[in-house]
Amino acid sequence: MEEVLIKEDHKYVEVADRIERLIENGALKVGNKLLSVRALSKEQGISVSTAFQAYYQLESKGLIEARPQSGYYVKFSPLHVLDLPKVSSPVNDAVPVSVDEMIDSVYSDLNNEKLIHFSLGVPSISLLPVARLNKSLLHVTRDSKSSCLNYEHVQGNASLRRQIARQAFNWGGTPSEEEVVVTAGCVEALSLCIKAITKPGDAVAIESPTYFAIFQVLESHGLKVVEIPTDPLTGIDLAYLEKAIPRFDVKACLFVTNFNNPLGSCIPDEKKKQLVEMLAKKEIPLIEDDIYGEMYFGKTRPKTCKTYDKKGLVLYCSSFSKTLAPGYRIGWTIPGRFKEKIIQLKRMHTVSTNTLTQAAIAHFLENGRFELHLRHLRKALHTQSLRYIQAVCEYFPEDTRMTRPQGGFALWIEMNPRVDAYKLHKKALKQTIGIAPGQIFSSQARFSNCFRMSYGEPWSDRIEQGIKTLGKLIVQSM
Amino acid sequence: MEEVLIKEDHKYVEVADRIERLIENGALKVGNKLLSVRALSKEQGISVSTAFQAYYQLESKGLIEARPQSGYYVKFSPLHVLDLPKVSSPVNDAVPVSVDEMIDSVYSDLNNEKLIHFSLGVPSISLLPVARLNKSLLHVTRDSKSSCLNYEHVQGNASLRRQIARQAFNWGGTPSEEEVVVTAGCVEALSLCIKAITKPGDAVAIESPTYFAIFQVLESHGLKVVEIPTDPLTGIDLAYLEKAIPRFDVKACLFVTNFNNPLGSCIPDEKKKQLVEMLAKKEIPLIEDDIYGEMYFGKTRPKTCKTYDKKGLVLYCSSFSKTLAPGYRIGWTIPGRFKEKIIQLKRMHTVSTNTLTQAAIAHFLENGRFELHLRHLRKALHTQSLRYIQAVCEYFPEDTRMTRPQGGFALWIEMNPRVDAYKLHKKALKQTIGIAPGQIFSSQARFSNCFRMSYGEPWSDRIEQGIKTLGKLIVQSM
């Protein structure tokens, strides 16, 4: 009896060893799903508990990971880890921002199918519920008396606002549908919120690096930006912000609190609470861009600053552009005490939002399809992120630094200081590869040796070749 | 032989007299179609030429009118004509505009089906090609690789821009598709154009009265408005404008050149040319809102200021909201020399316009359905305008003044000075009637004894009752 036990004991070690070698030699890659415990036991002629022990050993070694309700996956191997990028250290002088022509160069070829679009922070269409959405579309054109040709109410489709309010439950929010204002995507939401709470010449605190549309839209409103140092893991430096507020007479903040773009940093919930409380004391409004919040890879959705907002000072903004339908241009804001002003501004600037796509998304959500879709999308993005990370580790020079996002769509890659990312973008474009150079994520064209790489496109040989080619171009540029 | 001729002669006089009496006693109403010449000849047992003579006599008397390719219609009878409203005489002091809460009151009940919406300047859904548009929608979701879920190019769908460029032929324009920028409705086009050519504090010349969104959007950009006196027939007073430009340091103009809202005035083409030339000399850009241009009741489409623009100083704006699909939120601008700036601003503020509804409208236009639809729509609106006018003449007090629009959607009604239009709006709302009080068409809440009445809804007993009730309410208010 004891011998049998020992044999079985050896057996699980032996099975685990073999799997480990498969991972080492690359036959099993990061993100690959392993057989289920039951299937492994059958295949190897071992008991279920032995199979479980084998996986347990691999898990203890950090080689594989169990994902709830899904099974075992090859984990990102710590042997290959590149260093994290450094915390940004912007030099602040509350300068007026300036728009960059580089953006034109990066995004002029938006719909060119020949390009590998590492530059686009959106999910691949193949990850979206196209057929189901089309069904919703068909349904609402048939169901609506006016086939959705009439103007929608300025504040937005009532059913959609109800669904958005329900969705807020995920992050601990309890808004009523009356508190929600629908917009043409998140950027319009941000633009309206900025307009509602600032006047030209005001200073607004933002992350550094930050999504270019954010400082562009601030510039276009005649505002100054104050860039706050931002940790690749935990987001803005609270202590720095607290000092910057009086120093630069900051009138408002605009932060992407979860999986920010391009860093992927996520402000821990406790820190969010501190941020909200600090700003509440000073009566400073916070525009919170939570467009990536639903794209988390961990077990639970991170909270939002709005979750902790007691004074109605947080203007929450998000959209369906990253989760469901970029081209539908539907976003929203929950702007707290600034709601009436926002509605007034929206009536002036766009009258109302697209009736048809509002109704279609409302129908899709009413039928409970959004949660299921989000689960699939999160899983796919998580796996994709791991494959991309592994390839970057494999093909990029060793002195490369890279973020390890726990959600969202993008990697932020810091190269050798001698490499100019904008020149790299130009070279890569000739090889049909699009990247978003670091310069476009700062109003002062800093981050010249960084770039953002989106992993929204599912893994393929073409993607792998693209990353390999990029690696070679970087080496050539050093 | 001669006697027979005389008899026939009497015959046509007699037939014409009988028709005239039917018109007088209201059995035939303004806008009613008469029998064709051939049908009349059969019905009355007279020759075709006699029938023709009868109609000719009625036409000479101004009682009926021939419409090309359509037949004879009861014409607006000059006996019932109300006076035209007076030319506006705004007092100018280049004051900053202020937003009015009255607008909220007027447009809060937008989708209330119980209301008679005289307040809405849109065509009834029943006048729109709903089934055909739905077909186009279905087609593009099937035909597009991504089911129109992807982001569209910032400048807009290429096929749609091509169609818009072709459509410009109607007003003598020859833009290429490269000169067109698609926007989320005309209001976004206006907002982008204003942003592109002004800076806060600048003065902009507008018509008086004018559509409230125009001065609201100007206010929200921190601009001052200079109201130019506007003739109900021929639009802005050119001589006044020429003096106002140096006096108020006007930096830009924003005019609705064809069938303006709410006056319905149309600047004669020759005057448009003079306006463009005058502004060109002074290098002052003109934002031209031509959203009603296609809704003409005469034989030919009026030209636009853009037609005469040699220096790229005219920023032409329009949309499909009044002709095809209000809820689709698709408009455009042809902004001349300001194109690059407009595209840059659009990327910042909304990223891109709805992919799906752009594609659907492009498909609808490609199939040549737009022209046919426009012909039907113009005819319907013309007839409706005549019925509404007649009813106002019939039910409103005699001292009422009213415009006689040659296109567009609205009547501008000037009441006895003792009547307050905003109070009338409140009273009318209780009787389920919505009107747009004159105060909302001026930044200074002038025109308090005027209101705008849209005739977008097809004539019906309900509409007639509504106008009758309004007439009673006006009498009570005097």
What tens digit of pLDDT does each residue of A295-317 get?
A: 999 989 999 999 999 999 999 99
For residue A316, give the 3-state DSSP assignment. Answer: strand
Best of A139, A148, A223 to disrupt the B interface (most B CBs within 10 Å) is A148
Does the beta carbon of B454 lie under 8 angstroms from any beta carbon of chain A? no
A residues 389-418 closer than 8 Å to B (CB): none
Contacts of A342 (CB under 8 A, 6+ apart): A181, A192, A193, A196, A315, A333, A335
Q: What angle do CA A465, A466, A472 make, to 5 degrees?
A: 90
CB spacing of B149 vs A138 below 8 angstroms: no
Residue of B nearest to A359 (CA): B327
CB spacing of B350 vs A195 below 8 angstroms: no
CB spacing of B329 vs A184 below 8 angstroms: yes
- By Cβ distance, the residue of B200, B213, B354 closest to A354 is B354
Mean pLDDT of chain A, nearest integer: 89
Q: In one letter, which amino acid is A444?
A: Q
Q: Where are the domains of chain A?
A: 2-79, 81-125+372-477, 129-370
Mean pLDDT of chain B, nearest integer: 89
CB spacing of A328 vs B107 below 8 angstroms: no
pLDDT at A451 over 70: yes
Best of B125, B154, B354, B443 to disrupt the A interface (most A CBs within 10 Å) is B354
Does the beta carbon of A125 lie under 8 angstroms from any beta carbon of chain B? yes
pLDDT at A61 over 90: no
Residue of A nearest to B211 (CA): A348
CB spacing of B151 vs A326 below 8 angstroms: yes
Distance CA A149, CA A141 (A): 9
CB spacing of B184 vs A184 below 8 angstroms: yes
Q: Please give the structure tokens belonging to residue B148.
A: 């129109």
Fold classified for B80-125+375-477:
Aspartate Aminotransferase, domain 1 (3.90.1150)
CATH number of the structural domain A129-370: 3.40.640.10
ipTM confidence: 0.79
Between B20 and A436, the higher pLDDT residue: A436
A297 sits in the region (left: phi over 0; alpha: psi -120 to 50; else beta) called alpha
- By Cβ distance, the residue of A151, A350, A356 closest to B110 is A151
Q: Which of A153-157, A284-288, B82-86, B262-266 has the highest mean pLDDT?
A: A284-288
Does the beta carbon of B98 lie under 8 angstroms from any beta carbon of chain A? no
Residues β-bridged to residue A452: A412, A436
B197 sits in the region (left: phi over 0; alpha: psi -120 to 50; else beta) called alpha
Fold classified for B2-79:
Arc Repressor Mutant, subunit A (1.10.10)
Residues of chain B with Cβ-Cβ distance to A217 below 8 Å are: 348-349
Q: How far is A242 from chain B (nearest CA, A)?
A: 29
Q: At what angle do helices A269-282 and A238-247 cross, to 10 degrees?
A: 20
pLDDT at A93 over 90: no
B residues 151-210 closer than 8 Å to A (CB): 151-154, 184-185, 187-188, 191, 195, 200
Between A452 and A25, the higher pLDDT residue: A452
Q: How far is B82 from chain A (nearest CA, A)?
A: 33
Among the residue ranges A11-25, A70-84, A238-252, the one predicted with the least confidence is A70-84
Distance CA B138, CA B132 (A): 10
Instruction: Give the pLDDT mean for A121-127.
Output: 90
Best of A210, A354, A361 to disrupt the B interface (most B CBs within 10 Å) is A354
Q: How far is A26 from chain B (nearest CA, A)?
A: 33
Beta-sheet pairing, A116-117 with A436-437:
unpaired
CB spacing of A128 vs B149 below 8 angstroms: yes
Q: Which residue stretches of A321-368 are H helix?
A: 339-350, 355-366
pLDDT-based confidence at residue A110 (cuts at 50, 70, 90): low
pLDDT-based confidence at residue A78 (cuts at 50, 70, 90): very low
Q: At what angle do helices B185-197 and B212-220 cross, to 10 degrees?
A: 40
Q: At what angle do helices B130-143 and A130-143 cross, to 10 degrees?
A: 180
Q: Please give the structure tokens belonging to residue B297.
A: 């009741």
- By Cβ distance, the residue of A122, A213, A329 closest to B348 is A213
Residue indicated by tokens 């580790």: A393
Best of A100, A122, A182, A356 to disrupt the B interface (most B CBs within 10 Å) is A356
- By Cβ distance, the residue of B149, B220, B355 closest to A348 is B220
pLDDT at A263 over 60: yes
Residues (pLDDT < 70) of chain B are: 1-9, 76-82, 89-100, 109-111
Predicted pLDDT at B1: 42
Predicted pLDDT at B95: 44
Residues β-bridged to residue A252: A204
- By Cβ distance, the residue of B107, B128, B328 closest to A354 is B328
Q: Please give the structure tokens belonging to residue B98.
A: 């202020």
Residue B360 to residues A126, B150, B228, B258, B421, Cα–Cα distance (Å):
22, 14, 39, 27, 40
Phi and psi at B319, nearest 5°, equal: -165, 175
- By Cβ distance, the residue of B185, B222, B357 closest to A356 is B357
Give yes or no for a contact between B293 and B171, defined as CB atoms under 8 angstroms apart. Answer: yes
Q: Is the peptide bond before B262 cis (omega within 30 degrees of 0)?
A: yes
Best of B138, B147, B210, B212 to disrupt the A interface (most A CBs within 10 Å) is B147
pLDDT at A372 over 60: yes
> By C-alpha distance, which of A453, A355, A347, A468 is closest to A408?
A453
CB spacing of B184 vs A350 below 8 angstroms: yes
Residue of A nearest to B217 (CA): A348
Residues of chain B with Cβ-Cβ distance to A154 below 8 Å are: 107, 110
Instruction: Give the pLDDT mean for A21-40.
Output: 81
Residue of A nearest to B152 (CA): A327
Q: Please give the structure tokens belonging to residue B10.
A: 């009497």
Residues β-bridged to residue B66: B72
Phi and psi at A191, nearest 5°, equal: -60, -45
Contacts of A294 (CB under 8 A, 6+ apart): A170, A301, A323, A374, A378
Instruction: Give the pLDDT mean for A313-342.
Output: 96
> By C-alpha distance, which of A269, A275, A188 is closest to A238?
A275
For residue B283, give the 3-state DSSP assignment. Answer: coil
Residue of A nearest to B216 (CA): A348
Instruction: Give the pLDDT mean for A91-102.
Output: 53
Q: At what angle do helices A355-366 and A130-143 cross, to 10 degrees?
A: 110
b/e map A427-457, b = 16+ CB within 10 Å: bbbeeebbbbbbbbbbbbebbbbbbbbbbbb
Give yes or no for a contact between B58 and B20, defined as CB atoms under 8 angstroms apart. Answer: yes
Residue of B nearest to A132 (CA): B147
- Helix/strand/coil percent split, chain B, to 5: 45, 15, 40
CATH number of the structural domain A81-125+372-477: 3.90.1150.10
- By Cβ distance, the residue of A134, A150, A152 closest to B141 is A134
B residues 331-370 closer than 8 Å to A (CB): 344-345, 347-357
Contacts of B194 (CB under 8 A, 6+ apart): B204, B217, B218, B221, B223, B252, B254, B287
CB spacing of A187 vs B354 below 8 angstroms: no
Q: How far is A468 from chain B (nearest CA, A)?
A: 27
Instruction: Give the pLDDT mean for A245-256.
Output: 96
Distance CA A269, CA A290 (A): 13
Distance CA A184, CA B352 (A): 9
Residues of chain B with Cβ-Cβ distance to A152 below 8 Å are: 111, 327
Between A74 and B308, the higher pLDDT residue: B308
pLDDT-based confidence at residue A99 (cuts at 50, 70, 90): very low
Between B328 and A95, the higher pLDDT residue: B328
Distance CA A132, CA B330 (A): 25
Best of B110, B122, B150 to disrupt the A interface (most A CBs within 10 Å) is B150
Q: Please give the structure tokens belonging to residue B85.
A: 């409203």
Predicted pLDDT at A85: 78
Cβ-based contacts under 8 A for chains A and B: 173
Distance CA B121, CA B108 (A): 15
Fold classified for B130-371:
Aspartate Aminotransferase; domain 2 (3.40.640)
